[in-house]
Structure 1
Amino acid sequence: MSFRFAVIGDTHFCLAAGRDTRIADSFAVEPDYRRYAGMAENLERLGAMIAAERCELLISTGDLIEGGGDDAGEERVALEVLGKAAPAFFRAPGTHDGGLARAGRAYCAFDRGGCRFILLDYTRWNAEQREFLREALASAAGAERIFVFGHPPLFLWGRHFFDSPRFREEVGALLHRYRADFYFCGHTHNQAVSRHGELIQVAGSAVGYADGETVPLERYHALPPQDAEHCFYWGIAEDNAPGFVVVEVEEERTVLRWRSFHNSAWLELPARRAKPSVIEPPVFPEPGEFRREDLNQVRCGWLNTFSANKGENGSLLTLNGVELGPIPPNLCYAGRRYVMLPERALYTLDVENVLEIRFPRSPVFAAGSFSLELPLLDGRILRSAPSPELFVCGECPDFRFAAERARRVSPGERVTLRLQFPSMR
């Protein structure tokens, strides 16, 4: 007998009504709701796709709504849509969720299909909830599977300094101790499936551009190293291929199916806690081949940046001797930040390019995964590999996860990176 459920996260549902959605500033610093309002129909379409799966329950890993507008009204619409997608709907609160998710105790545990389900409230993580999780895991010794749901990842494959250290460390230790099977999460808006010891982590996102290509996570992020304990199966970059996951448990076998509007993926475990016997990642676009002569097609381009700065900026980016300006301001290590290349910089582009960075004067910052992106006149896009270097300055809890792999730098320090176009012949 099989049991099937679905997981969706980070829908960030919001409507244009009551919001100024006109473009008023650089895309890099625009508020997110101006993009998300245009993605509102994703929720209805994804809800219909989930309903067609005939799951017994649907679980959200948080950020059901964007917030900042008519929170109650938009939450009501979102709950109505997802409430029709499965006979039962549960949610683990995220940082953007409205009052309904936070009324009373928002964490819980229950059993379905012989499995234990545990939903955590990341927004109110404390010692009481930690003890609840311990008891819920300890009492699940006889369950066929243990599925845990929270908002932030326990392991970051992209957005390296977007950390939640206390939650990650305390929850991760308990899941390891009591041998949980799966941990489902969101928060980073990139999607990734990975294995950590016996635990499978599934990070999902339902916010993004519905009809774009499925962009691999490694296009914009330098992935952390893998080892015997940490294995990366596949990942999708932020704002791409909004989707959901269906999990089917049938005796010893567990099947995880990821679905978006135009793509799908598959992971199958033949037995509990076994390594996957089937791994079918999403279909990603071929990188293509480029020649050095293609640089003559370039008429514009930009430098992608990931950074977080907790104080004064004063930074400077210089490409091949041409000043680009400061690292874009950002309070957290999020995506969608870039610097446009001035025309003088376009003339200097080559297979290998030199990026000089003068870091902020702030005592606390992090930066990494710099890459070049160049549209060509023939419609293709030439992209450099993201720089593998990560940099960190000062002490910040958000940075703890990646800090041990990063190079320690000082306020105002200068470094030099090389950005290469690896597919160019």
Structure 2
Amino acid sequence: MQWENSVIPEFFKHLKRPFSFAVVSDTHFVTRDFIGQAFDATRPLSTEGYVENVTYSLAPMMDALRGLRPDFIVLTGDVAEPPLDPERHRENLKAALDFFATCDIPLIVARGNHDGTSSFDEVVGPRVAQFLGEMPKAHYFSFEVDGCQFIVLDTPFWNTEQCQWLDAVLAENDYAPSFLLGHHPIWPVARAFFYNRDFQMDMVNLLSRHAIDAYFCGHSHNQNIVLHRTPYLPVLQCMGALVGLSDAPPLPLHHVQALLPTPDDLMAIWPGYIENTAPGWFMGYVSQGQARVEWHHINRGAEAMVRWFRPGDIQTFWTMAPAPPAQLIEANLQRIRQGILRFCAWDSMGGARVFLNGNEIGLLPRADNFTPSRLSLPPNALACLQMENKVRIEPAEGSEMTLGNLVLEVVLPGGRYVRSQVFEEIYTWSNRWEGYEYETLQKMKPGRPLSTVLSFR
């Protein structure tokens, strides 16, 4: 959309500070007849799980938003979960927007990688036009609310034209504050390679020259906030997702996965929660001279808050500290009731043999996109667990998988979960990641097994 200046939507011509807004990502809405439809089996939830997500995540959030009454809502992509039938996807998109319309709060939508093109244009375009007062000419645009600028990006279809447009908008920006909203993260947290690399490289370049107050995104389904260094001012990145498992307890992300950004790159971080275990969203508050962002859990309210006066000049970075992880002692080794091997993978087609302390315990299941996956430990594996455990993974012939975040997780009497130390290394038998800069990435020779030690000490 090629506007000389930001549009002031008709909704907000009389809206003055203080005002508030909500940012919601990755709702993956479905209708009840989604169960039984043709579906990609590698997706993180089952068809039943996506239906339950509407009842146990989206509905409680809507109740909370009716009480908080933000002045508008921004959805940052992956609004509906796509079945294999495009017509069904169109129906899910329409149902999702109708669902949000029940709270009677103005809605703006950024496109996610699962939102498509034709369905998105047909269903979402008219709703965005209703908000802006005219039909967008592109899927990226900006609008203004009482001198505060909101820039909506089209990260799944990032290109040179959009980058040049954003550069020009930021160069002419006289607004304070200025918020960017898109689907993909600039800096991925925990999910290695799960981002748009061209988008990241361009954004790091742009934000090394232009100041913004915050960037809101989703995509990875993790919940976290990072204040990341750049050659210019630090950038606040707020990542969230509303999709989740109704019966999964909240699991702090840094208890099971390496965070990826190096400590030298971070000025502050709230690691948040691993994907699908703590659905939540962000509330933003803008008043004269300051801004504030809060992350809200669907049931427990605000668990993180950042407040600032100027871009990068953080005054308050408050988070609710999780309980420390439980520790395993040798006396409890014989009391373990069940266990799993956690891992994340790209291109794991199944067939890799897994050995624990010399005993074969099974084949690594199919997994992709570096999503959290697991292999259940059989009884013979539980019996041989030690404080330090040797793990050997033999890739299938011709495998080009990538593995990381290996963690042993066991359950003791009383339901206590104990996990081995977070595993930092990433191993790959593929050439697809050449040029990516991860200090912990190790290239493996074809067919060579991975051997490591997972420690409970």
**Alignment TM-score > 0.5, same fold:** yes
2:310 matched residue in structure 1:
272
Q: Choose which of 27, 33, 50 in structure 2 pairs with 1:36.
A: 50
**Aligned match of 1:291 in 313, 329, 333?**
329
Q: Given the alignment of the two structures, is residue 323 of structure 1 paired with residue 367 of structure 2, yes or no? A: no
Q: Distance in 2 between matches of 1:400 and 1:362?
A: 22
Deviation at 1:297, TM superposition (A): 2.1
* Number of the residue aligned with 1:257: 294
Match of 2:384 in 1: 348
Instruction: Give the aligned partner of residue 72 of structure 2.
Output: 57
* Residues 234 and 208 of structure 1, relative CA distance in 2, 3 Å threshold: same
Q: Deviations over 1:61-100 (max 9, x none)?
A: 1111111163233222221232344632111111222544
Structure 2 CA distance, aligned partners of 1:365 and 1:138?
42
Q: How many residues align?
A: 416
Report if aligned partners of 2:77, 2:182 keep a CA contact under 8 Å in 1.
yes
The question of 1:405 aligning with 2:440 is answered yes
Take 2:394 and 2:97, find their aligned partners in 1: how far apart are those partners? 47
Q: Structure 1: which 5+ runs fail to align?
A: none
What is the aligned partner in structure 2 of residue 116 from structure 1? 149
The 2-side partners of 1:265 and 1:219 are apart by 17
> Which one-letter code corresponds to 1:132 in the other structure?
W
Contact 1:219 1:386 in 2 (8 A): yes
1:189-228 CA distance string (max 9 Å, x none): 1111001122100010101135643211112211232115
Aligned with 1:378 (options 414, 420, 424): 414
Quick check: 1:263–1:283 contact (8 Å CA) kept in 2?
no
In the TM superposition, what are the counterparts of 1:15-30 in structure 2 within 5 Å? 15-20=31-36
What is the aligned counterpart of 2:82 among 47, 50, 67? 67
What is the CA-CA distance between 1:18 and the residue it aligns to? 4.5
| SS in structure 1 of the partner of residue 333 of structure 2 | helix
TM-score w.r.t. length of structure 2: 0.83
Distance 1:402 1:343 in 2: 40
Aligned-CA RMSD value: 2.7
Residue pair 1:355, 1:418 contacting (<8 A) in 2 also: yes
Of 166, 171, 178, which residue of structure 1 is paired with 2:203?
Answer: 171
2:134 paired with 1:97: no
Note the C-alpha offset of 1:377: 3.0
Instruction: Using the TM superposition, give the Cα deviation of residue 289 of structure 1 relative to its aligned residue in structure 2, in angstroms.
Output: 4.2
Measured in 1, the distance between the counterparts of 2:276 and 2:34 equals 24
Secondary structure, aligned partner of 2:384 = coil
Superposed displacement of residue 274, structure 1: 4.1
Q: 1:49 to 1:100 in 2, by over 3 A?
A: farther
| Greater mean alpha carbon deviation, residues 319-328 or residues 276-285 | 276-285
Match of 2:140 in 1: 107
- % identical equivalent positions: 27
CA distance in 2, matches of 1:173, 1:410: 34
Residue 246 of structure 1: how far off its partner (Å): 0.6
Deviation at 1:280, TM superposition (A): 2.1
Cα distance in 2 for partners of 1:201, 1:136 equals 19
* Residues 234 and 281, structure 1, Cα contact 8 Å, conserved in 2: no
Counterpart in the other structure of 1:4: 20
Larger mean Cα displacement after TM superposition, 49-58 or 227-236: 227-236
Shift of 1:185: 0.6
Structure 2 CA distance for aligned equivalents of residues 176 and 257 of structure 1: 25
Q: State the Cα distance separating 1:132 from its structure 2 match.
A: 2.0
| Structure-1 separation of matches of 2:396 and 2:193 | 16
Q: Distance in 1 between matches of 2:435 and 2:217?
A: 19
TM-score by length of 1: 0.89
Gaps of 5+ in 2: 1-16, 123-136
Partner Cα distance (1:233, 1:151) in 2? 19
The residue that corresponds to 2:3 in the other structure is none
Identify the range of structure 1 (40-49 vs 288-297) with the bigger mean alpha-carbon deviation: 288-297
**Distance in 2 of aligned mates of 1:29 and 1:267:** 31
The question of whether the paired residues in 1 share the 8 Å contact of 2:223 and 2:280 is answered with no
1:29/1:361 CA distance change after superposition, 3 Å: farther
> Which residue in 2 is equivalent to 1:418?
453
Contact 1:226-1:232 within 8 A present in 2 as well = no
Residues 1:411 and 1:230: Cα distance change in structure 2 (over 3 Å): farther
Taking the aligned partners of 2:48 and 2:455, their CA distance within structure 1 comes to 33
